[in-house]
Structure 1
Amino acid sequence: MAEDIPIPDEDAVKEQKLQYGSGDNNGEAALDSKYPNRPRNLHKTLPFSTLLADLFNPLLENSQKHRPTAARRRQGPQGQSSLSPHEARRNIIDRYISKWRKEVGDDFYPAMRLIIPEKDRDRPMYGLKEKAIAKIIIKTLKINKDSEDAKSMVNWKLPGQLGKATSSTAGDFAGRCFEVLSKRQMRSTPGEMTIAEVNNALDHLAQLGSEEEQAKVFKVFYRRMNAEEITWLIRMILRQMKIGATEKTILDIWHPDAETLFNVSSNLRRVCWELFDPNLRLDGGDTGIALMECFQPQLAAFQKQVGSFDKMVNKLKPTLDDDSFWIEEKLDGERMQLHMVDDPSAPGGKKFGFWSRKAKDYAYLYGSLLGQTDNAFARFLGDAFAPNVKNIILDGEMITWDMDLDHIVGFGTLKTAAISEKENRNGTNTGQRPLYRVFDCLYLNDTVLTPYTLRDRRNALKSAVKGVHRRLEIHPYIEAHSYTEIEPELRKVVAEASEGLVLKNPRSMYRLNERNDDWIKVKPEYMSEFGESLDCVVVGGYFGSGHRGGAHSSFLCGLLVNKNAKEGDADYEKCFSFFKVGGGFSREDYASVRGRTEGKWHTWDAKRPPPIIELGGHAENRQHERPDEWIRPSESLVLECKAATVESSDKFRMGITLRFPRFKQLRNDKGWKDALSISEFMELKDNVEREVGEKEKEFKIEQSRRKKARTSKKPLVVAGTDTVSTPYAGPHSKIFKGLSFFVMTDALTPSKKSKAEIESLVQAHGGKLVQRETKDPNLIVIAEKRLVKVLSLEKRESNNIVKPIWIWDCIRQSEADVGAIPFMLPFEPNRHMFYLLPDDQLEYETHVDEFGDSYTRDLTDVAELRTIFSNMPRKFDNDFHQENFLTQTEDHGNPLTNLKTHMFSGMKVFFFFFFSSSSSSSSSSSSTINSETSIAFQLAKNYIRFGGGVVLEGLEEDGITHVVVGDEREAKGVRRGLFVTPLPRILGWAWVERCWWEGTRVDEERFMWG
């Protein structure tokens, strides 16, 4: 039988040694030990050009052939080939794989890592972006850097007026390179480089750091490839292939178990070498996660746009015996898996592995050995695990923790904090550091735990992980039994500016690389506090890529410094950068922006920036979020935008920015001076923060009611802010005689006062001033903002904290009670208390009635009376209003509604014309629909279903959100037949079609008829 075993030819053996080593411990011998049954190719690999001719180009042609067009949409289905696009795509891939097996052998890994390079974890990142590659090509081809061709590559996002570049390649870097290379290629025929040779050259390129060395590799490609081959090579380096087929399809055609194995290993080499025989299937033991091998983690499903919390809880599969579900805070960090293995030969005796959700190896930053001192995390984990733990795999979130504030910091600071901690050799407990919050245990002491329930896995986690304070901690959860327990927790995390919540089914198993209803994300709604949206002037534009290439795809918006400045003044037209927005625009919106601003844009010159636009960054070099072009505010337009919230950011001149900004509409009715100014926005922001603070206090009071009152009394503390207004001019009195005041900050409400003004006011009415906290039982401390020193006071839980508005209320009441003896007002929980100890909760609640109306103080204004009235109905309204909690529409900046498969998620739609049999109101109009309209409505219905929406059979069905009609006359008929609350939105069918072809959910108001 030995003579029947195929023997590789000499070229195949040479290639094998070239790719995998010469037989030493670091080469083929090590691979033979790890993959004893790995396949060997019998012949040399196919030419690189075959990937283009037999795979990439046919797939692209198939994709373009079946791409819908407006003409085909009007004509309907006709002239279709016998094969569907999906079948044709699979045939192309299958033919190439079959050709490889026949002409090369069973080791398909060399080709696979070029076909889906973004999944290749063996080859490190090249450290090359578009501009760096452009400079290398300019040097390789010896092009004048000031020539039109050189500028067209460097400025690849710019439209076609530069050089001879056409508008079709604007935004397509590889396409721009092809235009330049095709005029200077050394060979017009396909090159002779094999796939193995290309892989070797790319491996070498990934190891180089200098531009000179990288240019040498590109010279080899230039000599041995034609322009088309180099263009595809550039796409591989950038890992932006877009060949018309997903990696899921390619893996599935290679082997039925390929995707499953990739999910548990993230290892393309393992997938190709263990699954080279399509007839050999994996058993259950082969598909489990393994130590020191990255896997694809389980993901949480998105909160649906329609449906209350009780429906979400029902999706968590409660049973009669166990109706519990878990509520966890959703952390704003980076998903991270941690692997630990005992290794007596390693420094410190333990080895670690860290991988992100996208399988990026972070061992270089967080450390791989316990005994290393030059890492940001692993060196602190000596006591993190129980003594009996030999190996473990944890799933969690790496976040940034500020040790001075003792609070989580936004995700954008994580890398900076990790680098800083890496350099902190002494391990000091100040500043910001990485903190790993663990919420799952998937492997423990050689046992895979994914088949066990979440509750069992959590018990294993508690027994195995001891944790290290503010280094590695087990993420807490709340066990709930009713959907009514979700809202208070969501309100709490919203008040603390958190990401949201995750609901989990404790009876569920861990499902790799799957997003299902066992885990559900619940995020706060888009803000409505700023009057629904903000109107800001456009001051800059950024060119897009891909289908948005050659034109502005996003815009920089700013706030006016002084809208009252006159022409010639230093501040005339001056703006501070505020946010960048690119989501929510339709083609019509982009066209309108182009039409109104054409010829008014100027190229941004970093050496001579326009003096009227200030960007973020240090004063000597403000270049953050630099636009490609800028425009004068007086020649610009105003955008109406909405966002999730406002957050701090050094990327913009304002020092703050909008989180997840989204375009709503153009304000053609507003001129540039009608846009928001800095002072107007800050006033708006202060009002919002004050309202949010009141809601936060309401929440704290509701929570505190459940605690048992105690008799011990604590000194009293009052609070202020950082803003300044005019001093108080009221009469003097002795209201505060016998009290000591420690003023920590300024005041904001009811008017802006500085710390000095508050102190003068207190002294004018008999109070004594101190400059530090004392044990005086009559001490009152002033603070209204959670500065570090105030947070420290709260953390000690030694004092109550009162808002400065109490001082104003006492003075105002004394002035109103003419002739009466001045007295101090009792403290009201909502209005006066900034921080309230649970022990004093019940006592202070007796000072107001059940609706918050004081027993001893007169109302100050109509707004306070309106607030009391608005509180009254809520006492008798126990139903959750879904309008208060909009569903998640954003994931770290990526809008969900921009995905076609999710763009209509959460919508329940009734099509007025299609279901005449189910609604008497539609019977008369159905007969008037011609064939063309019927096709259009049928397509619209399919778009809704494909985009994640639900098509209803009748107007009377529960949860209906939208009704699609043909014209205004039909809309009136629908309105007469609607007897549901809340009323659905009535839209024209053109809205559905517009959303579909724009690829995003456009603003509904333009298409509404009711």
Structure 2
Amino acid sequence: MADTAVSKDAAIEDDLQYGASKAELDDKSETSLPRGEHSLTTKELYQELFNPLNENKKQPTAGPGGRKQGPRGQMKLSPHEQRRHVIERFVTRWRKEVGHDFYPALRIILPDKDRDRGVYGLKENAIGKLLVKLIKIDKNSEDGYNLLHWKLPGQTTASRLAGDFAGRCFEVISKRPMRIEPGDMTIAEVNVQLDRLAASAGEQENLRVFEVFYNRMNAEEIMWIIRIILKQMKVGATERTILDLWHPDGEALFSVSSSLKRVCWELHDPSTRLEQEEAGIALMQCFQPQLAQFQLSTSFQKMTELLRPTEDDPEYWIEEKLDGERMQMHMVADADHPGGTRFCFWSRKAKDYTYLYGNGFQDDQSSLTRHLGHAFTSGVRNLILDGEMIEWDMDVDKIVAFGTLKTAALSECSNNSTSDNAGHRPIFRVFDILYLNDKQLTQYTLRDRFKALERAVKPVHRRLEIHPHTVATGPDAIQPLLRDVVANASEGLVLKNPRSMYRLNSRNDDWIKVKPEYMDEFGESLDCVVIGGYYGSGRRGGNLSSFLCGLRVTQNHIRAGANPEKCFSFFKVGGGFKADDYALIRHKTEGKWIPWDRKNPPSEYIELGGGEAKQYERPDVWIRPSNSFVVSVKAASVGASDQFARGFTLRFPRLRRLRPDRPWDSALSLEEFQELRKKVDEEFHEKAMTLENRRRKSTKRVKRDLVIAGEDAAPAEFAGERGQIFKGLEFCILSESLKPFKKTKTELETLIKENGGLISQRAAPGTNMILVAGKRVVKVASLMKSGDADLISPRWIQDCLDSSDRTFALPFEPRHLFHASEALKMAAEENTDQFGDSYARDVSTDELRDILADMPIHEDIGAFGRRQFLEDLEKRGKGLNDLHGMILERSVVHLKAVEDSDLPNLKKLVNWIRFSGGRVAEGMEDADVTHIVLIAEDPMQAGEAADTIRKALSKRSQIPRLVRGQWVEDCWKEKTLVDEEPYAIL
């Protein structure tokens, strides 16, 4: 019976290899589907599908009627209908000649939708370097330079292919091809090589795969292979069209499963349609989520009209758009799973993140699920939640930008601390529920789904939370909320229709995202001069597509000797440009752009972030400001960024219009911008204070606000000096205090004034001024980067005020240093003992407890003797064979591979020997060698090699045992030193 099962499994594997569909496997006796004994070639794929679709893209779109009349009066098919015919012909041929398993072809046609193959980890620059090595061309030659600088216009024919990396590769390979005619490589063989590439361990394996393609394909085929690897097909046909032509329900099944394999294997017969329940979302099955529409050109009034179709129910919802990663969480009761509940997490692109966020309540390595033991109400057996995974900084209780989310999650995985108020962690913010207790909820309204969400989920603070929304009825509610989220460095808002159903894999007007392009914080616009340019890719290839803008130097800089033309990098802008804008820019600046030389940057004219050493946001080309032009841009707000020269940049800049009428020196200067920014901040805080005053309704509320004063609280009043502890000392407070006590910048300044200190608003590092910082704001980060500033923690101020002797300020200790030079660190360490106990002040009970807990325990156990330890172990009746890591403790093994093909097995055996306590000898001449292990698949070759070795060792008094590699493997598997006799080579 067991043999029958094995043979059946083997038959199934065979069918999968040759293209049998899943339905064929269910009942082979009742199907007549062809097995598909061969596969089409890549030549047929690109000649019959890719090239015709690519040519179709170049046609003008049809007019309102869809079709055009031909020269003889016949109706000409529209480009869309032509695309459908091309795809349909290819699909029909595949069914006829290959079979009903379209999966091998589909994962190449839609590489960006294939979730079963791992990532390649290769971008344009990496592939360019591989091709340079493979073709053996000089990287500094014209072709080598064009490959490695593919965005830049080339010197000859490559100019027209700038920005098209695959096209550049075609130009280079076609000059030195291994094949002129198309190769005979099949789609099945291509998939095998792509699997090898996805599983590659490094550059050598990548080179071997590309060598196969280079030897068996012509230049055009390789061009398409590169587009497949980069997942940048751009043939003008969407996955919706292709899946629909494979099967009428193909797109619907992909929306609920994100699996091309399921679409091909379950929908092999176009005449068999999906049942209603099969077209819905299912537990533990990734679906394609609904997305929000972006209505940039639509006013708030029109947006709300789209969201409020009836006067009877004028309500719509406003949510904050979170800067995180879209995530779906599936939870199901599973008695066989530890803890009784199983979880799965998938991103919007169907990447499985369960390993990161956890598979159950008892997953100790999870960053989330181990904290959700009480997150669901009793009676909830299973559910699917849709939301955003964000990163939260518990120290300041604020959201963190998306870039380090996975780092925070990995850190939380390894953190076994029970502390709930420190570090960064992932939080799942849920805004929808789509499945509950075996029932699909997508057909219910958003309002009803949210009610179900509130009943099913019990929020866990800063772990799993229900994302709040604001109920509104008119357009006036949007602008104030947009200001709030911009002030908190958020992405924007999402407006939702509470009467809408959930539509899978759809972007529609039921959800509308509002980004801060609508904001008008800086009035009409900002006029800035362009100082650099970046080449684009794709349809913008070979042309400048985005630009670096700068702020002119101030009069103070000029008086100090700066070039009047010098500019500080400020922001990059690439959105909002039209074809006419690019044409005008080319006309005005032709011949004036200069390639950026990293070794010799134009520091006289342009200063970048990070200085000459790092050159952040370095442009491809630069232009003298006096030869340049002015752009008028709209921005949401100003944000901190060390990527630009002065430590700040514009958030969400967008071109309003070019200003050819304005000379370059009328553009915004650094001084003018700082004045404008100050004015905007004052107006913003004035509005905020006015709004806050309206909200305060009682004296009791006002008093409470003063007690828990934060960053925006009213400034504390100076009540006169109360002490002289800081007399003669000058301070500059650079930020608020967060830990161990919370004080605003103003409150810290008041404490210092009350105790005799002087306050300066201008930092002077390198002097006797005490610079105080408790938070890494832009000014603090800049001083830390300069390396010549000692920054003191606000903790020192608190310790001085808590001291029993308040006649003098305390000397600095290591706990008082926020950032310091090595000299100050060494001086501070002399003010405490070796355990951190202060010489100058009384420590608190909690601090003393921490000092005692950190004290090391000193034990004089003497030197450790490995051999003595092993002998003692054997005297106590414990042999070396009882310890897995010491099986081969007394063995010295020399490994010899007969053929190069045996080397992978050699590496594996080396690890087993070392992990078992043995030593690997480099050569047979080592007198301590006890075993020689021969690695050879051919027994005859092994025997010949053994005879040679015996002759070489015949004169030795102690001849090592000559055994096969299987002996080492069996020792490891059996966890003991097995007898060598059965493994001896005769």
1:384 aligns with 2:382: no
1:78-117 equivalence runs, <5 A? 82-117=76-111
**8 Å CA contact retained: 2:722, 2:755:** yes
What secondary structure does 2:614 align onto? strand
> RMSD over aligned Cα, in angstroms?
4.4
1:329 aligns with 2:316: no
1:357 aligns with 2:348: yes
1:874-893 equivalence runs, <5 A? none
Q: Counterpart of 1:169? A: 161
CA distance in 1, matches of 2:182, 2:225: 13
CA distance in 1, matches of 2:457, 2:418: 21
**8 Å CA contact retained: 1:544, 1:554:** yes
1:134 alignment partner, one of 128, 136, 139: 128
**8 Å CA contact retained: 1:492, 1:699:** no
**8 Å CA contact retained: 1:542, 1:628:** yes
Q: Counterpart of 1:798? A: none
Instruction: Map Cα deviations across residues 321-343 of structure 1 (whole Å, 9 max, x no partner).
Output: x6544333332322211122344
CA distance in 2, matches of 1:591, 1:551: 10
1:409 alignment partner, one of 394, 400, 409: 400
What secondary structure does 1:396 align onto? strand
Please state how far the C-alpha of 1:483 moved relative to its aligned partner. Answer: 6.1
Please state how far the C-alpha of 1:212 moved relative to its aligned partner. Answer: 1.1
1:746–1:101 Cα change, 3 Å: closer
1:77–1:709 Cα change, 3 Å: farther
Please state how far the C-alpha of 1:236 moved relative to its aligned partner. Answer: 0.5
Q: Counterpart of 1:992? A: none
CA distance in 2, matches of 1:125, 1:747: 43
The one-letter code of the counterpart of 2:56 is N
CA distance in 2, matches of 1:642, 1:481: 28
1:471 aligns with 2:463: yes
1:563–1:757 Cα change, 3 Å: farther
The one-letter code of the counterpart of 2:77 is L
2:522 alignment partner, one of 511, 524, 530: 530
1:697 alignment partner, one of 689, 693, 700: 689
**8 Å CA contact retained: 1:12, 1:41:** no
Please state how far the C-alpha of 1:447 moved relative to its aligned partner. Answer: 2.2
Stretch deviating more after TM superposition (166-175 or 293-302): 293-302
1:46 aligns with 2:40: yes
1:179 aligns with 2:171: yes
1:20-31 equivalence runs, <5 A? none
CA distance in 2, matches of 1:40, 1:616: 64
What secondary structure does 1:625 align onto? coil
Unaligned runs of 5+ in 1: 1-9, 21-26, 70-74, 723-733, 749-753, 772-785, 791-1010
2:629 alignment partner, one of 623, 637, 640: 637
**8 Å CA contact retained: 1:744, 1:755:** no
1:341 aligns with 2:360: no
Stretch deviating more after TM superposition (284-293 or 399-408): 399-408
Please state how far the C-alpha of 1:423 moved relative to its aligned partner. Answer: 5.1
1:575–1:421 Cα change, 3 Å: farther
1:812-851 equivalence runs, <5 A? none
1:391–1:721 Cα change, 3 Å: closer
The one-letter code of the counterpart of 1:192 is D
**8 Å CA contact retained: 2:409, 2:425:** yes
The one-letter code of the counterpart of 1:279 is S
2:118 alignment partner, one of 124, 140, 151: 124
What secondary structure does 1:185 align onto? coil
1:68–1:739 Cα change, 3 Å: farther
Q: Counterpart of 1:214? A: 206
CA distance in 2, matches of 1:757, 1:471: 33
1:344–1:558 Cα change, 3 Å: farther
CA distance in 2, matches of 1:398, 1:713: 37
Larger radius of gyration: 2
CA distance in 1, matches of 2:405, 2:528: 30
**8 Å CA contact retained: 2:249, 2:273:** yes
Stretch deviating more after TM superposition (395-404 or 519-528): 519-528
Q: Which has the higher contact order (CA 8 A, sep 6+)?
A: 1
What secondary structure does 1:583 align onto? coil
1:491–1:313 Cα change, 3 Å: farther
Q: Counterpart of 2:423? A: 431
Please state how far the C-alpha of 1:364 moved relative to its aligned partner. Answer: 4.5
Please state how far the C-alpha of 1:227 moved relative to its aligned partner. Answer: 0.9
CA distance in 1, matches of 2:735, 2:412: 36
TM-score (norm 2): 0.66
What secondary structure does 2:81 align onto? helix
Instruction: Map Cα deviations across residues 883-923 of structure 1 (whole Å, 9 max, x no partner).
Output: xxxxxxxxxxxxxxxxxxxxxxxxxxxxxxxxxxxxxxxxx
1:632–1:353 Cα change, 3 Å: farther
CA distance in 2, matches of 1:120, 1:255: 18
Aligned length: 732
Q: Counterpart of 2:252? A: 260
The one-letter code of the counterpart of 2:346 is W
**8 Å CA contact retained: 1:192, 1:224:** yes
Please state how far the C-alpha of 1:698 moved relative to its aligned partner. Answer: 2.6
**8 Å CA contact retained: 2:132, 2:144:** yes
What secondary structure does 1:98 align onto? helix
The one-letter code of the counterpart of 1:17 is Q
1:17 aligns with 2:17: yes
1:735–1:544 Cα change, 3 Å: closer
What secondary structure does 1:177 align onto? helix
CA distance in 2, matches of 1:292, 1:615: 53
CA distance in 1, matches of 2:317, 2:664: 50
TM-score (norm 1): 0.65
**8 Å CA contact retained: 1:625, 1:652:** yes
Q: Counterpart of 2:765? A: none
Please state how far the C-alpha of 1:357 moved relative to its aligned partner. Answer: 2.3
**8 Å CA contact retained: 1:644, 1:658:** yes
1:203–1:712 Cα change, 3 Å: closer
Percent of residue pairs identical: 55
1:758–1:91 Cα change, 3 Å: closer
Q: Counterpart of 1:192? A: 184
Q: Counterpart of 1:64? A: 58
Q: Counterpart of 1:279? A: 271
CA distance in 2, matches of 1:587, 1:275: 44
**8 Å CA contact retained: 2:521, 2:637:** no
Please state how far the C-alpha of 1:570 moved relative to its aligned partner. Answer: 5.3
What secondary structure does 1:339 align onto? strand
1:145 aligns with 2:136: no
The one-letter code of the counterpart of 2:125 is K
1:41–1:615 Cα change, 3 Å: farther
1:204-243 equivalence runs, <5 A? 204-243=196-235
Unaligned runs of 5+ in 2: 1-9, 737-744, 759-772, 778-986
CA distance in 2, matches of 1:585, 1:353: 42
Q: Counterpart of 1:270? A: 262
What secondary structure does 1:513 align onto? coil
Q: Counterpart of 1:456? A: 448
Instruction: Map Cα deviations across residues 798-822 of structure 1 (whole Å, 9 max, x no partner).
Output: xxxxxxxxxxxxxxxxxxxxxxxxx
